[in-house]
Chains A and B, each alone.
Chain A
């Protein structure tokens, strides 16, 4: 369509997107190149036609549909927020119930093993052994355990 090697730059020149030096060179070129000058005029005309072009405006029905779609989207959005908040509230309530039930059951948990008296004494878990010298306490549990059959688990 065109033999001039400057033609591809006409588009950027038309849009004011060429660097200043190239733009000045193109302006000078257009004065001497009839082919580019004609192409530039045509591009300008196309540009003007496009900028002046208007489609049929949106119909009133389309405006109403659009508004209705926005309202529906807002309702869905609100519903999602409400559902999310409800879910969080339900989860918090469940955690509170579980936590409360867990602390109640902790208070009544029986000892896992009923230790024999001698073990309690040895581990100094027995209050009566706390204030006695070790050797006396040990002698006492030996006597105590021997008198009750010894070595077995204490019956408490």
Chain B
């Protein structure tokens, strides 16, 4: 990967030095996609598609993928339409993640037709904490039990490995809020997992 630019990155009102990797290929594709080339946009987002889908599923915290697929689709359509607004201050991926977070919030507002699945989780075999936390359904169940605010910070941190400043920029909240929400989210998860102890 060719690192072409080092720029000041404005996130949440805090000026943070950030190295942005904009490959020549990406720049060319962004230019073409901005002129309405759907092929170019599809090639541009292809490397991020699986991650965006993973984020959407985790943020929705549901055991169904249909809504997550809708959210990904709306995210990419919004990105395609709004590519002119991408100024390159953040990485293209962070820009897409910020759109995805907005789309998840929109989907959440349509909560009338949502029914949160509160499935009872089978305790995993053994009492080893790591084994229990490793089980896939446990992760989904844990996420489902969190509030949307706690869930989104945790997902952005753990799945996207974003820094607190980056999360603050995406969610438009102070970095201190990110820190306290993460701390509470983890305390909550520990509490849930300890309740699952046989």
Contacts and interface: CB of A to CB of B under 8 A. Distances in A.
A10 interface: yes
Interface residues of B, number: 48
Contacts of B140: 53
B134 A49 contact: yes
B179 A17 contact: yes
B77 A51 contact: no
Interface residues of A, number: 42
A95 interface: no
B157 interface: yes
Interface-centre pick from B134, B179, B186 (highest chain A CB count, 10 A)? B186
Contact of A11 (B81, B179, B194): B179
A58 B159 contact: no
B36 A77 contact: yes
Interface stretch (A39-47, A114-122, A126-134, A139-147): A39-47
Interface of A: 1-2, 7-12, 14-15, 17, 39, 41-43, 45-59, 62, 65-67, 69-71, 73-74, 77-78, 81
Interface of B: 36-38, 41-42, 49-50, 53-54, 57-58, 65, 68-69, 72-73, 76-77, 80-81, 129-130, 133-136, 138-140, 142, 154-155, 157-159, 163-164, 179-180, 182-183, 186-187, 189-191, 193-194
